[in-house]
Each structure stands twice: as C-alpha cells, then as structure tokens.
Chains A and B, each alone.
Chain A
Amino acid sequence: MIIRNSFLTILAAHPAHGYGLKSSFEASTGGAWRLNAGQVYSTLSRLERDGLIQSSEADSPERRSWSITDDGQAAVASWYDTPVDNRSNRDELVIKVLVAVAAGERDMDRVLQTQRAATMRRLQEFTRHKIAAPPDSELPDLMLLDAMILRAEAEIRWLDQCEQRLQASAAS
C-alpha cells in the first residue's frame, strides 16, 4: 500500500515512466527503500486495473508514460486525510523482554544492558552520519536520520524504564 500510494502521489505531481517513478520514490525516501523492476510494474498494472492511473500507448511497458486519473487524485487526497496507524505492539524487542520477564529470567539486567549497548552503538552510527552530513544535505536524508535517531533514543529510554520498573518491583 505504501508503494502504491507513493506512486500515486508522485504521479499526481507529474506524469512519469516506470523507471522515473522508481527513481523519484527512492530519492524522496533518502535511498532507504530500493525497488526492483518487478515491484514497479506489478504496482503500476494494479493501479491501472483499478482505474487510478492511465498510460499512453507504447510498444513495451518501459516506454509507457503514466498519468493520474481523477479517481487517482481522490485516492491521494484520501491517503493524506488518513493518519497512519503506527500502533504495532509486536516489536520484537518488546516481546523478547516481556517473555523473558514472564519466564522469571533472573538476569534481566544482562538482557537490557546488552540491548542498550547495541542500540547505543546504532545511535552513535546514525549520529556519525549526521556529523558527516554536509550542511546542504538533501532534506529526505536528514529527516530520515532524525527518525532513526529518535527511534533508537526511544528504545534506550524504554530499556532504562524497564530496568527501573524491575528494580522497583524487586524491592517491593
């Protein structure tokens, strides 16, 4: 759905060939997500089937230029109007810690500490990218880095909080 909606959003701005769509998508996401040709063309054919895009006639799929239909425009508007629901509670780390606690693991400190050190190294690595980034870096690159840094930071805070809760519950 993300690829589908992203293609529609790009096509709402201007018509494009399949390869152009792939490049625009990859550039706007700071290179975080690479697409293969199969994904691109299967997405396009589904969008066409649903009447959200249309194309010029051409002898091969690569040469077709795609443009958005009115229904496609409406689909983009409704994507913008719908907040993303990111409330997954199946984060592997969270589940791992919860299962370990429920199993009565005595050395939770070790589990938490190992993860905290690994996450801190990840955070250091992202921060190195940020330090190395030239001031005129592409906006998507910086915004992507911010997202990854904040996520890692949240993970560390959560681990700290787990440790404190476990200590408090052991003391009571």
Chain B
Amino acid sequence: MTSTHQTEPTLSLVDASRLHGEGPQAVRALGPVSLDIFPGELVAIMGPSGSGKSTLLSLAGALDRPTEGKVLIEGRDLADLSLAELAALRRRVIGFVFQDLNLLPGLTALENVALPLELDGSPLEETRTRALEELERVGLKDLAHRFPDNLSGGEQQRVAIARAFVGPRHLLLADEPTGALDSVTGEAVMRLLKSQCARGRTVVLVTHDAAHAAWADRVLFLRDGHIVDETVAIDSTGATQHGLPGQVQQNPAQHSQPQPLSPV
C-alpha cells in the first residue's frame, strides 16, 4: 500500500490551536496540531490529564472554534460554515459519545437513537426504521423500548454509539466512552467501534486505557497540547493502513508479520 491517499480525509486539523484568554496570560489548551483522519479509521488519543484531548475533540466536532489554524470536515473549512450549517453537520455527519450522561432519561433507547433524525426533519416512520436498524447493529434491538435507567452502563454506551451513527452520520467523536465501564464491557464497546469502522465509518476516541487504545489503527499521544508520538498498527498483510512517512517511528521489516507469541 502506498502512503499517498486517494480519498479525502474525513477530518483534518491544520495548525489548529485553542488558546484561552489573551496576551501573556493566555492558556494554550491545544496546538498547533495538524492531523488527517481518513474514512474507516479508528484513531485513539491518549495523554495525561490537561494535555488537550477533550479540546481536540471539541474542535473536531465544531463544539468549539480554533483560535488559530483550521478544522476541516470532508474538505469543508468549519470557519466558512454558518451556524445553521454547523448544526446540520452535527445532525448529519458527526455523532458524540461521552463517558456518561449520554442518553436523555425521559426517552426510550429507540427514541434516543431516533432523536437526531427527528431533529433533522425526517418522516416519523423512517426515523423509527433507521433507529431500529442501528440498534440491531449494536445488538440491542430487543431492548429498544427500555428507558436508560433500566440499561447497564455498557448497554447505554451501545445505545449512544447507535445514536452517534444513526442515519447518514459517519464520524464518531468519543471522549472516554469506556471510562466508566469494567474492562470486559469496555472491550465489547471497542469491538463494536472497530466493526463500525469496518463499515467505513470513522471513529476518534479519547481514552486513558492503553488496552482499549490498542484496538485503534493509530494511537496519538498528546502532551501539553502537542502530538508527541504516534503508533500505527500493522494489519495482517504487513501494511500499515495509512502510511504516514516521517511521523511514524517503526521498523516495517521487524513488524511485517504478526509474530508468533513468545513468553516474555
């Protein structure tokens, strides 16, 4: 596989920074950071508390604006979009999942998943069908009529993932979605995200858990607002899914085959 991409990135940051305050007092929450994330990729972001992970996600999801640089979604510079266009982008392209409090307690799982479509003005019958479809994909069709209070934490996160991908949405930004789950449930959530990416959907996730980050195609390490390192997983053919010359420190010869496991 070559390192050049024919496809357009789903998400790009170009020298994007976020400063709070002005002048010498300004706090640099992030940046400058540049990155490209491509369709079908699962990218994990790791880093200590305060390193800028949530800030990066907020910029990527148009919840916040960079004070310098650009954020592009599917080639469109977010700075050029009107408020109405940004809102439409959040209904049709981007879904969010957070560590908790993802679902509206007064709505059933199905109603929660259908919400973005309803807000987008889709016909009621269609929102129901699509929402059920998406719940089936995360293995929760049978629990569609439960209220969030009657779902486990892991089930709630799966509903939130279904909602984040319902209808045309295909970019999921997740801030510690496994943070409140035990490791086996967290792994089930990672498996689900992985399968969503296999369908061509794109996931950017913040996690403190290295074992969960390892499910990603790429892991970015943030320190003090900067990407200080990046590791790329090797697929079974020995190719990296997305070659990034210059940024990736690895020896392909050494990693070209999945090695037989040996005792450490």
Contacts and interface: CB of A to CB of B under 8 A. Distances in A.
B262 A32 contact: yes
Given A113-B229, A148-B264, A125 B234 contact: yes
Interface string B191-216: 10010000000000000011101111
Interface in B222-237: 223, 228-229, 231, 233-236
Interface string A139-172: 0000011001111110011001001100000000
Nearest to B190: A127
A153 B214 CA distance: 9
Interface string B215-258: 11001010100001101011110000000000001100001001
A128 interface: yes
Contacts of B211: 123, 127, 149-150, 152-153
A32 B48 contact: no
Contacts of A119: 210
A3 B223 CA distance: 45
Contact of A128 (B231, B249, B258): B258
B139 to A, nearest CB: 14
Contact of B263 (A33, A116, A121, A132): A33
B124 interface: no
Among B48, B211, B255, max chain A CB count under 10 A is at B211
Contact of A163 (B48, B191, B259, B264): B48
Interface residues on chain A, size class: 20 to 34
Contacts of A19: none
Contacts of A149: 211, 214
Given A124-B233, A128-B234, A157 B210 contact: yes
A131 B198 CA distance: 12
B214 A123 contact: yes
Given A121-B250, A121-B255, A132-B236, A32 B261 contact: yes
A99 interface: no
A76 to B, nearest CB: 22
A4 interface: no
B222 to A, nearest CB: 12
**Centre residue among B215, B216, B250 by max chain A CB count within 10 A:** B215
A76 B231 CA distance: 44
Interface string A88-100: 0000000000000
Contacts of B121: none
Chain A facing B: main interface SS = helix
A125 B231 contact: no
A152 B212 CA distance: 12
Interface in B1-59: 48
Interface in A75-106: none
Contacts of A126: 214, 261
Contacts of B216: 124
Contacts of B236: 128, 132
Contact of A151 (B258, B260, B264): B264
Contacts of A150: 211
A38 B125 CA distance: 72
A150 B209 CA distance: 11
Contacts of A148: 261, 264
A164 B48 contact: yes
Interface of B: 48, 191, 194, 209-211, 213-216, 219, 221, 223, 228-229, 231, 233-236, 249-250, 255, 258-264
In the A-B complex, the 5 residue pairs with the smallest Cβ-Cβ separation, listed nearest first, are A123-B214, A127-B214, A156-B210, A124-B233, A153-B211
15 contacts: A30-B261, A32-B262, A109-B223, A116-B229, A117-B231, A121-B233, A121-B250, A123-B213, A123-B214, A124-B231, A124-B233, A126-B261, A128-B236, A129-B261, A151-B264
